[in-house]
Amino acid sequence: MIRISKLLNNEEKSNVANCILRQLPEWFGIEESIIEYVNRVKSTDFYAVYYLDNPVGFISIKSNNEYTSEVYVIGILKKYHNHGIGKKLLKIVEESLIKDNVKFLMVKTLGDSHPDINYKYTRKFYKKTGFYPLEEIKEI
């Protein structure tokens, strides 16, 4: 029932991102940030997750240079958390990046010193999928 598709149409990317991010206020509660994500996903590699033809999640991958890419933004509806969808998205992304000879995939998120419980679960997800903390920047 779950289908993952790479989207190429910029408006479709923006529409999926907008739909999902607005349903995740625990992580994406700042209007200006949502608007920025929705606009910037157009210039990224974008994979959408559908359940019965309804978008339930996505991942957006930004290329920083020929060696490094980053998870620009990822969102999965809470109802679908802990069903392996994020892990599947990362696997698809990693396979694509390996084919393109990209050596590093990174993600930026709030660090351990931040008290937000939702980001604690976010960090747990990233650690479980093979990411390691490199640096915590507290000035942002």
Reported as a single tens digit per residue, the pLDDT across 96-108 is: 999 999 999 999 9
Residue 1 pLDDT: 85
Asked if residue 17 lies in contact with residue 75, where contact means CB atoms within 8 angstroms, the answer is: yes
Whether 110 shows a pLDDT value over 90: the answer reads no
Residue 51's nearest CA partner among 96, 88, 25 is 88
Radius of gyration of the chain (CA): 14
Question: Domain segments of the chain: what residues?
Answer: 2-128
Residue in 85, 80, 84, 130 with CA at minimum distance from that of residue 107: 130
Q: What is the amino acid identity at position 103? A: K
Q: What angle do CA 101, 106, 107 make, to 5 degrees?
A: 145
Q: Which residue has the higher pLDDT, 116 or 85?
A: 85
> What is the pTM (predicted TM-score) of this model?
0.91
Instruction: Give the model confidence (pLDDT) of 27-77 as tens digits.
Output: 999 999 999 999 999 999 999 999 999 999 999 999 999 999 999 999 999
CATH 3.90.79.10 fits 2-128, yes or no: no
